[in-house]
Structure 1
Amino acid sequence: MTSTVTSSAVFDRPDAIPGLPHEQVIFCEDQETGLQAIIGIHSTAHGPALGGTRFYPYANHTEALTDVLRLSRGMTYKAAIAAVPLGGGKAVIVGDPERAKTPALLRAYGRYIDTLGGRYITAGDIGVSADDLDVIGETTRHVVGRTSESGGSGNSGPTTALGVYQAMRAAATIVWGEPALTGRRVGVEGVGKVGSELIALLLAEGAHVTAADVNPAALADVAARLPGVTVTDHILGEQIDVYAPCALGGTLSTDSVSHLSAAIVCGGANNQLQTPDVDQQLHDRGVVWVPDYVANSGGLIQVAGELASADSGWVRDKVEGIYGTVLAILDRSRSESLGPGTIADRIAEGRLSDARAGQFD
C-alpha cells in the first residue's frame, strides 16, 4: 500500500516547524516482509529530493512521522547551503534493524522508492549501511552511497566527519582567533560512523577528546582503537571547550543550554535543537553553534558528487569549503546579533526562492 498522507496529522501538527510545507509524504507497507516505511519529500525545487533512510525502533508511528518530517526539511536546507542541485527528502523504516531487517524487506522498500520515478533518491543513515544500500539497489536505481564494488561512493562517515571538523575549525577561528583545536577539550557524543571518524581527526591534531555513547560495546571499541580517548557517561556534564553531538538529535534544550560549559557546539547529529528558539538562546549566552545541516553536509556533498560522476578531489575540495561557509555565517551572526541558525536559514531560503523562480544555477 502506498498513499500520500492528507490528514491533519501532517498538516496541523502541533510540533510543526514554520516555513515551507512538504510536497509529499508517502506511507509504505508490505505485509509479506513486515515493511513499514515513511518517505518525506520536502522540496524538489533544486532537484530530486535526496536523503538517507533511517531504520530505527520508534516507539510509535507518530514519533517516526515527526522524525521524517524534520529530517527531510533539514535536507532541503542542507542541499541549498551546500549549493548542490538536489532537493530535500528523508525516509524512515520502523523497526529494530537487528531483528527486522532482511534482504526481502530491503528489496520491497526499494520497489516503493522506484514507484516515485526518481523524485526521491535514498542514501544510508542510522541502521542502513552501504551493504544494505546494495540490496535496496537491486530493485531501484534511485540509490546512492552503495559499496564501491557496486559502483557507489561507499561509507559517507569519513566525509561527513571531515566537514564537521572543518566547521569546528571555523568556529574556533571566531571564538579563539585561530582554527587550531590543539589542546582543546572536545566532548563527542555518539561514536558511530561519523563520531568515531571525527574523534580520529581531533586526536591527530592534539585535541583532548572525551566520548560517550548509549552503546557500551561501540564506546569500548573506539577507546581500544583510538588510545587517548576518555570515556564518560554524560558529555553535557563534562567541562569541555567544544560539544560535538554526533548521535540522535534534540540534545540542546533550554535546560541543557543553561548547564553547557562549552564555548562551541558543532557536531554531526541532525536536528540538534529541541526547539528553534534554542538557537538564539545559545547566541545570547555567547555560545557559538554551527547549524547542524551546515556542519554535517559532507555526506550529502559526497553523494552529490557520485550522482554527477565527480572525482574524489572535487568532493574533498567542496567539503573543505565548509570552513568558509561556516565562517561567513558566524561573521554575519555576530554583525546582525542573530543566531547562526537564523542566518543559515535565511541564506538557504533565499536560494530556494531563487530556485522556485528558475534562477538556480
Structure 2
Amino acid sequence: MTLTTDAPDVATTDDNTVFGRADAIPGLPHEQVVFCEDAATGLRAIIGIHSTVLGPALGGTRFYPYPDQSSALTDVLRLSRGMTYKAAIAGVALGGGKAVIIGDPEQTKTPELLRAYGRFIDTLGGRYISAGDVGTNTDDLDVIGEATDHVVGRSTAVGGSGNSGPMTALGVYQALRAAAATVWGKPVLWGRTVGVEGVGKVGSELISLLLADGARVIAADVHDASLARVVERFPDISITHDILGERIDVYAPCAMGGALTTGTVPRLTASIVCGAANNQLWTPEVGRQLHDRDVLWVPDYVANAGGLIQVAGEREGATTDWIRDRVERIYDTVIAILDRSKAESITPGQAADSIAEARLSSARLA
C-alpha cells in the first residue's frame, strides 16, 4: 500500500490538484486530502477530510468508475464539504469527510481490495470514519471493518445498525412534507405527482413512503435492472427516461449529483425540489435561479441527513426509536430553514448554510 499526499499520476496543474482548483469553495479549505494506491489489489482511493471541528470526519465511501482522477477528486472535495454542513445542521458531534474508490464495483470490487481500503482508513487514526454510499453496501462495510474499527453502517450481525437507506429515505420524506406544508398549506403528498430520479437503496424506499401517502410516482434510472426491480415491487408507478420532461409537482433527485444546472432548470415543471442526491445544484447560482422562479429547493444536505443521524446514533449506542425520532425532526429543521429564507429574503440554501456556519463558528471559539 502506498500512501501519498497528492495523486501519484496527476499532472501538476491547478485543476488536477487540491490547491487552487477552479471548483474549490473560497475560504473553506480542506484539512486533509490523501490518496492511496495498492498495486496488489488494484485499489485507487481518495479520502477528503474537510473539517474535524465538531468531531471526527464521517462520510460514505463511493465506489464509482470515474472517467479520470480529476473527476474523482472533484467529487471528494464537494461531497466532504457537504458532509461538514450536514453534520453541523443535524446537530451531531461529527465532522465532514468523504471518500471514493475509483473503479467499476461490478468488475473490480473484491474482498481483498476492500480490506486494503480498510487498512488505508486505519492509517488516519480515527480522523475519518467511513459509511456506505453509491457502489458500497452493508456487506462491503463488514469486510472493510475487518481491517479497521473506523467504519459504521455495518450489518446488525456484527453489531452495526444495518442499511441506512430507509432512514435516509424517511428524512427526505419528512423534508418533503415540510416543503409541501410551505407551498400548499398541508404536510401531505396525497394527489401530487412526484418524479423520483434514481431508484436505488434510497430512492426505492422513498417511493414506498410516497405511495403510502397517496402520491403518484414517476420514476427514472439509468440502470434498466433497477427500474425492473422497482416496477416489480411497485407496479402502480410510471416509468420515464426524462423526469424533467414530465409534468410533476415535486422533483426528487436521488441519483448522482449535478442534475440541476442553469440549462436544465427552465425545463422543470415542479414547484418543489427535494431529494436524496448530494450536490444537486451544479453551482450555487442555480439555487438563486430556482428561488427566482418560485421553485422551493430543500438543501440536499438537510433532506438526506437521515443516514448520517443513523450512523451517528450507532456510534453512540442509541436505540432505534431514538434514531427514528431524530430523523423525523428533519421536518422541523426544514420548516425553520424555510421560515428564515422567507423572513430574510434569502434562498433556502443560504438560510441553511448560515445555520450550519453559526454552529461551526461557535465550536471553533469554544
What TM-score, normalized to structure 1? 0.98
- Tell me what 2:6 maps to: 5
Q: How does 1:46-195 map to 2 (within 5 A)?
A: 46-195=54-203
CA contact (8 A) 1:5 1:24 kept: no
Output the CA distance in 1 between the equivalents of 2:284 and 2:193. 27
Matches within 5 A, 1:268-283: 268-283=276-291
Offset from partner CA, 1:35-80 (integer Å, 9 cap, x none): 0000000000000000000000000000000000000000000000
Q: Residue 284 of structure 2: SS of its match in structure 1?
A: coil
Following the alignment from structure 2 to structure 1, what is the Cα–Cα distance between the partners of residues 30 and 23? Answer: 14
1:247 maps to which residue? 255
Give the one of 225, 236, 239 matched to 1:231. 239
Structure 1 counterpart SS, 2:149: coil
Q: Distance in 1 between matches of 2:27 and 2:204?
A: 34
Following superposition, the deviation at residue 356 of structure 1 comes to 1.0
Amino acid at match of 1:195: G
Deviation per CA, 1:198-230: give whole Å up to 9, x if none.
000000111000000000111011011112110
For residues 213-250 of structure 1, what are the alpha-carbon distances to aligned partners after superposition, in whole Å with 9 as ceiling and x for unaligned? 00011101101111211000110100000000000000
SS at structure 1 position matched to 2:37: strand
The answer (yes or no) to whether the contact 1:245–1:269 under 8 Å persists in 2 is yes
The correspondence of residues 290-301 of structure 1 with structure 2, limited to 5 A, is 290-301=298-309
Task: Give the equivalent residue in structure 2 for 1:197.
Answer: 205
Segments ≥4 residues shifted beyond 6 Å: none
**Aligned counterparts of 2:267 and 2:110: Cα–Cα separation in 1:** 43
Partner of 2:45: 37
Structure 1 residues 19 and 341, CA gap change in structure 2 (3 angstroms): farther
Give the CA deviation at 1:5: 3.3
Unaligned runs of 5+ in 2: none
Q: Which runs of 5+ in 1 are unaligned?
A: none
Rounded Cα–Cα distance in structure 2 between residues aligned with 1:17 and 1:279: 16
Contact kept in structure 2, 1:266 and 1:295, CA below 8 Å: yes
Amino acid at match of 2:51: S
Read off the aligned partner of 2:328 and give its amino acid letter: E
C-alpha distance in structure 2 between counterparts of 1:137 and 1:212, whole Å: 33
Paired residues in the alignment total 358
Letter in 1 for 2:217: V
Task: Give percent identity, aligned residues only.
Answer: 71
**Aligned residue for 1:334?**
342
Structure 2 CA distance for aligned equivalents of residues 267 and 195 of structure 1: 8
Deviations 1:130-162, CA, capped at 9 Å, x for gaps: 000000000000000001101100100000000
SS of 1:91's equivalent in the other structure is strand
Instruction: Give the RMSD, CA atoms, in angstroms.
Output: 0.9
Distance 2:74 2:141 in 1: 24
| Pairing 1:308–2:316 present | yes
Report the 3-state secondary structure (helix = DSSP H, G, I; strand = E; otherwise coil) of the residue aligned with 2:35.
Answer: strand
Deviation at 1:346, TM superposition (A): 0.9
Corresponding position: 1:27 with 2:35: yes
SS at match of 1:89: strand
Q: What is the rounded CA distance, in whole Å, between the counterparts of 1:19 and 1:250 in structure 2? A: 22
Compute the TM-score of the two structures, normalised by the length of structure 2. 0.97
